Amino acid sequence: MRILVIVRQVYEQKSIHWDYENNEFRNRKATINQADLSALQWASDYSKEHNASIDVYILAEEECNETLKGKLEKFPLETCTHFPTSGNEQEDARYLATFIDQSMYDLVLCGDETEDEHNSCLLPLLGYSLGMDVLTSVHQIKVKGSQRLLAHRKEERGATQIFNIKLPAALSLKTQISRLRYSRKPKYEINIVKEERVEETIRSNRRIGAPEPIITLGHVPTDENPLNRLIHVMGFSKNSDAGLSQQTKALTEEHLHFTAERLMKWLKE
């Protein structure tokens, strides 16, 4: 069985200070997200009992320092890969999916949310893109056979719901999933490999709305009925003067669609 644990770099809240002179943060101390470490601890305990291998993906803006590496040396890891984060969970999930799909993991784990910005969308986005069953906010897991897990999740008013999970699956775990246990001396040697991120093509997001119409008004309608005046201005009239003819030629299918939508809305009001 192969397990992948995604750990994310965060900044300790006590170390963040705002520099009013330079208008930027200073003295930020990078560390590993606590919930991700709890997920890694659970995976470590599971691997000892069920002979599973663990790979770690590190999402971090900065280079992995000795403090971060020292925390990971407490766990029996097969591989450890550093991926630069883009700051966008959707982009990170799509990028990681290209690597995970090639490896075919049985179980993908990470913490429920980050402790600095409270981001919690990475694992659901990643799991759905891989076609895995996804469950979030899991606080307890029990093993049921070689390919099934019983995942416990707390709901409202203290109720606990139990899910029968069939592997492969992707789970985001609460800090209560496992108690962290550190020894004073490192037990394992790890080699963190950095995966260079290829810049993706920048896509522009365009807002779809009503196109700007080309209005050529022949004359101002004087009909007493406001609906008739509206129809006359839109170019839908029995009168066939030059102005209305030019208006009708300027109308496209898009203009007609949005005109009809606005007209129906006006009639409902």
pLDDT in tens, 63-75: 887 878 888 888 9
Please provide residue 59's backbone torsions phi and psi, each rounded to the nearest 5 degrees.
-100, 110
Q: In this model, does residue 206 exceed pLDDT 60?
A: no
Q: Are the C-beta atoms of 2 and 106 separated by less than 8 Å?
A: yes
Give the residue carrying structure tokens 């050529």: 216
pLDDT digits (tens, 9 = 90+) for 212-238: 655 555 566 677 787 777 777 666 655
Q: Are the C-beta atoms of 38 and 139 separated by less than 8 Å?
A: no
Q: What is the mean pLDDT of residues 24-36?
A: 80
Please give the distance of CA 222 from its chain centroid, rounded to a whole number: 56
Q: Which residue has the higher pLDDT, 161 or 209?
A: 161
Q: Taking the CB of residue 1, how many other CB atoms lie within 10 A of it?
A: 16
Q: Is the sign of the CA dihedral 103, 92, 6, 136 positive or negative?
A: negative
pLDDT digits (tens, 9 = 90+) for 167-193: 999 999 999 998 887 666 667 777 888
- Nearest CA to 81 out of 7, 192, 190 is that of 192
Provide the mean pLDDT of the chain: 80
| pLDDT-based confidence at residue 146 (cuts at 50, 70, 90) | confident
Q: What is the mean pLDDT of residues 150-164?
A: 87
221 preceded by cis ω (within 30°)?
no
Q: CATH classification of 2-194, choosing from 3.40.190.80, 3.40.50.880, 3.40.50.720, 3.40.50.620?
A: 3.40.50.620
Tokens of 183: 């020894």
Tokens of 13: 């809240």
Q: In this model, does residue 99 exceed pLDDT 80?
A: yes
Q: In this model, does residue 80 exceed pLDDT 80?
A: yes
Q: Taking the CB of residue 147, how many other CB atoms lie within 10 A of it?
A: 12
